[in-house]
C-alpha cells in the first residue's frame, strides 16, 4: 500500500501512525515544507521518501508532489494527515487522484457547523437552537428567542478559535463592529458537562473502537477564556444513550476508515449534540486511549487500513485522567512538581510540557494518571490543580 501523509511531523505524536504503517509493510510518503533535517528522527525512519514543497498552502505544489509519487511508486492508495487543518487538502488530493476516502464533496457536512445541525436533526438528535447571523439585527432577534447568554463561533472553524460567549446586547454589538470575515453561527448557551463519543470506524462503516471523554464543569471555550486548568477523563463504561446517538451519528455522516470525535452536552434533559470532527481528538488523546486499553491505537489504525481489522482487546480496563496546568506568572500552585510525583507517582503514566500552540486549550504542563476506579483520580486531579 502507498500511503501519503501531509505534514508528517506535526503533531509530534502522529509519527507513531507513520511508524506503525511502515512496520506493517506500507510505503509511507511524506509531504511538508520543513527541511528534511527538521523532521525528527522518528519521522525520518518512518518515511519511505519525503517530498519537500516550498509552501503547504500552495495546492499546485501538493499536486506535483503526489504526481511525482504516482510516477515513482504507482497508484496512491491512501492520503491522510489526521489533522483538521489539512482536511480540505486531503480531500481535494483524494478527489484529484481518485483515492479512497472523503472527497471534496463529502466534507461539507463535517466542516460547517450549520450543516452538522441539519444532519443531527434529521436523525432525531437534539441540537442547540441557533443559526448563522450576519448582522446585529439578526443576532438581536435570535437572542430574543433563546435568551442570554449566547455562543458565537465560526461556521467553519477549528477547536475553540474565535468562539465567544456573550451575556448582553452591548457585548454582541461590539462583536459585530469588529466581526472577522466569514459566517458565524450563533446558538443558545447550553448548560451541562461535555461528553464525547470517540472511536475508529473501518472501511465498511463499522465502529471497531469506541471511547468517551468527560469534560467536568465547563468546556474548552471557558478553559481558554478564563485561563482555567484543563481536565478531562475517559469513561470505562459508556452510557447507553451516548452509544446510541454516537453510532447513529457515525452512520448518518457516512464515516469510513477514520477516527472520529463527536461532542455532546449532557443536560438534565438528556444529550444535546454539539459537533462532529472527522479526525482523532487532539493533544494526548490517542495516548489516553492507549493507556486506558493497554493497547497501541496507532498500530491498530495501521492494521485496520492494511488488513481491514483491529486485533487488540479494546475493552477499557482503566480510566485515564488528563490534568493540563496553566503556568502563568500570576498563577501560584499549592503543590510543586516533585511533591505531585511523590504523592501520585504510582498513578502517573506520563507528564511533560505541552507545545505552545496547544497550550491555551490544553495547558502548559500536563499529567496523565490512570486507575481502574475514578474516585482516586478525581482526588489526585484536585490536588495537582490546587492553586495557592
- The CATH number given to whatever domain includes residue 266 is 3.30.470.20
Q: Which of 155, 188, 221 is the last residue of a domain?
A: 188
Same domain, residue pair 180 and 206: no
- pLDDT score of 157: 74
Please report whether residue 115 resides in a domain: no
Same domain, residue pair 260 and 379: yes
Same domain, residue pair 232 and 136: no
Same domain, residue pair 314 and 332: yes
- pLDDT score of 103: 95
Same domain, residue pair 202 and 299: yes
Same domain, residue pair 214 and 353: yes
CATH number of the CATH domain containing 144:
3.30.1490.20
User: Of the candidates 339, 388, 337, 335, which has an alpha carbon nearest to the alpha carbon of residue 365?
Assistant: 337
Same domain, residue pair 97 and 218: no
Same domain, residue pair 154 and 33: no
Same domain, residue pair 197 and 176: no
Contact in structure between 238 and 177 (CB atoms under 8 Å): no
What are the average pLDDT values for consecutive 10-residue runs of the chain, which has 388 residues? 97 96 98 96 97 98 98 98 95 98 93 96 97 95 95 82 89 93 94 96 96 79 71 98 98 97 96 96 96 98 95 96 94 96 98 93 96 98 96
Q: Which of 149, 168, 188 is the last residue of a domain?
A: 188
Please report whether residue 354 resides in a domain: yes
- pLDDT score of 223: 59
Q: Which of 188, 210, 231 is the last residue of a domain?
A: 188
The residues, ordered by sequence, that sit 6+ positions from 145 with a Cβ below 8 Å of its Cβ are 129
Give, to the nearest 10 degrees, the angle between helix 240-252 and helix 113-122. Answer: 110
Please report whether residue 318 resides in a domain: yes
Cell of 272: 444535546
Please report whether residue 121 resides in a domain: no
User: Of the candidates 324, 266, 259, 263, which has an alpha carbon nearest to the alpha carbon of residue 286?
Assistant: 259
- pLDDT score of 226: 61
- pLDDT score of 162: 78
Please report whether residue 237 resides in a domain: yes
Query: Rounded to 5 degrees, what are φ and ψ at 70?
Result: -65, -45
What count of other Cβ atoms lies within 10 Å of the Cβ of residue 351? 17
- pLDDT score of 329: 87
Q: Exposure pattern of 109-128 as b/e (b: 16+ CB <10 Å)? A: ebbbbeebbebbeeeebbbb
The residues, ordered by sequence, that sit 6+ positions from 9 with a Cβ below 8 Å of its Cβ are 15, 32, 34, 38, 39, 40, 43
Tally of structural domains, the chain:
3
- DSSP-based three-state secondary structure for 257: coil
CATH number of the CATH domain containing 54:
3.40.50.20
Q: Is 216 exposed, middle or buried (0-12, 13-18, 19+ CB in 10 A)?
A: exposed
User: Of the candidates 222, 225, 294, 286, which has an alpha carbon nearest to the alpha carbon of residue 83?
Assistant: 286
Same domain, residue pair 229 and 183: no
Please report whether residue 75 resides in a domain: yes
Nearest-angstrom CA–CA distance, 13 and 208: 22
Is the pTM for the entire model greater than 0.85? Answer: yes
Helix or strand holding residue 207 (H, E): strand 207-211
Same domain, residue pair 29 and 146: no
CA distance from start to end of the chain: 55
Provide the domain limits for residue 17. Answer: 2-106
Q: CA 225, 231, 235, 239 torsion: positive or negative?
A: negative
Please report whether residue 120 resides in a domain: no
Same domain, residue pair 184 and 288: no
Helix or strand holding residue 233 (H, E): strand 230-234
Please report whether residue 119 resides in a domain: no
User: Of the candidates 15, 65, 72, which has an alpha carbon nearest to the alpha carbon of residue 44?
Assistant: 15
- pLDDT score of 221: 57
Amino acid at each position: 500500500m502507498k500511503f501519503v501523509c501531509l505534514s508528517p511531523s506535526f503533531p509530534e505524536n502522529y509519527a507513531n501512525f507513520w511508524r506503525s504503517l511502515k512496520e506493517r509493510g506500507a510505503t509511507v510518503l511524506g509531504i511538508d515544507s520543513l527541511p528534511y533535517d527538521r523532521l525528527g528522527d522518528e519521522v525520518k525512519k518512518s518515511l519511505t521518501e519525503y517530498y519537500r514543497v516550498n509552501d503547504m498552502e500552495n495546492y499546485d505544489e501538493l499536486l506535483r508532489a503526489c504526481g511525482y509519487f504516482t510516477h515513482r511508486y504507482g497508484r496512491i492508495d491512501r492520503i491522510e494527515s489526521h489533522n483538521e487543518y489539512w482536511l480540505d487538502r486531503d480531500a481535494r488530493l483524494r478527489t484529484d487522484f481518485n483515492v479512497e476516502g472523503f472527497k471534496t464533496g463529502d466534507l461539507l457536512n463535517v466542516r460547517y457547523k450549520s450543516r452538522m445541525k441539519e444532519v443531527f436533526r434529521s436523525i432525531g438528535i437534539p441540537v442547540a437552537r441557533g443559526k448563522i447571523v450576519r448582522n446585529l439585527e439578526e443576532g438581536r432577534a435570535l437572542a430574543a428567542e433563546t435568551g442570554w447568554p449566547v455562543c458565537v463561533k465560526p461556521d467553519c472553524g477549528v477547536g475553540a478559535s474565535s468562539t465567544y460567549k456573550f451575556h448582553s446586547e452591548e457585548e454582541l454589538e461590539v462583536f459585530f463592529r469588529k466581526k472577522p470575515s466569514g459566517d458565524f453561527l450563533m446558538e443558545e448557551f447550553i448548560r451541562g458537562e461535555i461528553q464525547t463519543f470517540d472511536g475508529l470506524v473501518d472501511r465498511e462503516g463499522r465502529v471497531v473502537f469506541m471511547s468517551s471523554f468527560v469534560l467536568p464543569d465547563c468546556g474548552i471555550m471557558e478553559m481558554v477564556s478564563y485561563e482555567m486548568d484543563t481536565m478531562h477523563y475517559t469513561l470505562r463504561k459508556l452510557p447507553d444513550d451516548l452509544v446510541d446517538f454516537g453510532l447513529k451519528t457515525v452512520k448518518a455522516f457516512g464515516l469510513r476508515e477514520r477516527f472520529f470525535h463527536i461532542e455532546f452536552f449532557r443536560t438534565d434533559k438528556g444529550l444535546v449534540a454539539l459537533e462532529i470532527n472527522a479526525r482523532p481528538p487532539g493533544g494526548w488523546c490517542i495516548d489516553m486511549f492507549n493507556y486506558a486499553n493497554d493497547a497501541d491505537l496507532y498500530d491498530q489504525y495501521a492494521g485496520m487500513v492494511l488488513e481491514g481489522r483491529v486485533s487488540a482487546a479494546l475493552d477499557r480496563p482503566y480510566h485515564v485522567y488528563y490534568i493540563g496546568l496553566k503556568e502563568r506568572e500570576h498563577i501560584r500552585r499549592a503543590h510543586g512538581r516533585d511533591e505531585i510525583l511523590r504523592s501520585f507517582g504510582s498513578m502517573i503514566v506520563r507528564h511533560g510540557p505541552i507545545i505552545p500552540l496547544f497550550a491555551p486549550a490544553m495547558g502548559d504542563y500536563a499529567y496523565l494518571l490512570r486507575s481502574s476506579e475514578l474516585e482516586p483520580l478525581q482526588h489526585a486531579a484536585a490536588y495537582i490543580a490546587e492553586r495557592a
